Amino acid sequence: MKKHYKIIAPVRFVIFVTIIFVLIATLTIHMFGLDNASGTTKTYYKQIEVTYGDTLWDIADRTMPADMDPRQAVYEISNLNDIDDGQIYPGQILIVPTEIDENV
What is the residue extent of each domain of the chain? 7-36, 42-98
24-39 mean pLDDT: 79
4-22 mean pLDDT: 93
Alpha-carbon distance of 61 to 84, in angstroms, equals: 19
Please check the confidence at residue 41 and state whether its pLDDT lies above 70. no
**Separation in Å, CA 104 to CA 2, 71, 100, 101:** 71, 28, 9, 6
CATH superfamily of 42-98: LysM domain (3.10.350.10)
74-83 pLDDT, tens digit per residue, is 898 899 898 8
